[in-house]
Amino acid sequence: MLCAAPAHVQAQTQTVHVLTVQGAIGPASADYVVRGLNKAAEQNARLVVIEMDTPGGLDTAMRGIIKAILASKVPVATYVSPKGARAASAGTYILYASHIAAMAPATNLGAATPIELMPGGEPPGPGQKPAPDQGKTPSSVADKDAPLPDAKSRKAVHDAAAYIRSLAELRGRNAEWAERAVREAVSLSAQEALQLKVIDVVAEDVADLLRQIHGRKVKVAGLDLTLDSAGLTQVRTEPDWRSRLLAVIGDPSIAYILLLLGIYGLLYEFSNPGIFVPGVIGAICLLLALFALQLMPISYVGLALIILGIALIVGEVFVPSFGILGL
């Protein structure tokens, strides 16, 4: 990658860092991508490729990833892969935000209408179509002029439409279709996306992607760069134990179960004081659910768990529970 600062070019390594995002976009995905981008910048990588297959996810996690991509000093290519994968919902926004947008054959993107997290629903966030049993909204049908059910839904759709349009304009991609993906929940195949200038490349694999984008010009951190992606060594950064654990906790279905367990555990403890076990389990589950739903940052959750642990140990001194509180 050539740029205006020769010292920066000399410091670069002949590597491309490859990150893999599969499943719902949540706190774990955001943490993994942000750390991966930081690592690539620290090691002066020439390019970061995010291989993505997602049905969508949480709005806050999606925006965290997009902010990291926009602030990255290393060019980012998001690649919907493997064949049969999708970049629905939040994935469409991330694809639009990337310096290079690419898809494998037989993949799709779109359906970017924001919906709320509902019991039994799909992961929340921009872009997911409501399930049939959740009822249709005007944003999931063809008539974009149909009235939305309430002010909250209207605000969410208008905000999401403006957001994805701003990303499209930043990267010079099809802004009209991007807005339709939000307001009408439309989707495209890889070839259709290429024809409509929604994406830049359709590639068979990462090696093919690197060959096709060689010589393309992108703007990174305010600098006009020419990608030199030929012959780069792929360095794959797989999710570590921390990311995998957070992914399990952050799964919307698991988060909802934890939320219910937390609420019912505390209710049972309040209705039957002195048992302690339901209250302890309920408090822990509730804190984990709040993190998974990103209502609390992970640092606050950790602090709350520490305070809870100290309180239980102190409580063991004053309330005989045969060691249950101390555990």
For 93-104, the pLDDT digits (tens) are 999 999 999 999
The predicted pLDDT at position 259 comes to 86
Distances (CA, A) of 174 to 157, 194, 246: 18, 10, 34
Among 48, 2, 9, which residue's Cα sits nearest to residue 206? 48
131 has pLDDT over 80: no
Task: Tell me what percent of the residues of the chain surpass a pLDDT of 90.
Answer: 53
Pairing of strands 15-22, 233-237: parallel
The predicted pLDDT at position 123 comes to 42
Vertex 320 angle, CA 316 and 326, to 5°: 30
| Confidence band, pLDDT 50/70/90 cuts, at residue 6 | very low
Q: Which residue shows structure tokens 């499209």? A: 168
Q: Give this prediction's pTM.
A: 0.74
Distances (CA, A) of 143 to 14, 105, 138, 154: 49, 29, 7, 14
Q: Which residue shows structure tokens 């309040």? A: 270
Task: Tell me what percent of the residues of the chain surpass a pLDDT of 70.
Answer: 76
Among 244, 221, 235, which residue's Cα sits nearest to residue 31? 244
Domain ranges of the chain: 6-242, 251-318
The predicted pLDDT at position 142 comes to 36
Of 113 and 301, the one with more pLDDT: 113
Inter-residue contact 108 to 188 (CB < 8 Å): yes
Measure CA 84 to chain center: 19
11 has pLDDT over 70: no
% helix, strand, coil for the chain, step of 5? 50, 15, 35
The predicted pLDDT at position 307 comes to 65
Of 118 and 84, the one with more pLDDT: 84
The catalytic residue positions are 89, 155
Q: Residues 38-80: pLDDT tens digits?
A: 999 999 999 999 999 999 988 999 999 999 999 999 999 999 9
Looking at the domain that runs over 6-242, which CATH code has it been given? 3.90.226.10
Q: Residues 242-253: pLDDT tens digits?
A: 778 877 887 778
Say whether 218 sits in a helix, a strand or coil. Answer: strand
Among 54, 57, 100, 56, which residue's Cα sits nearest to residue 79? 100
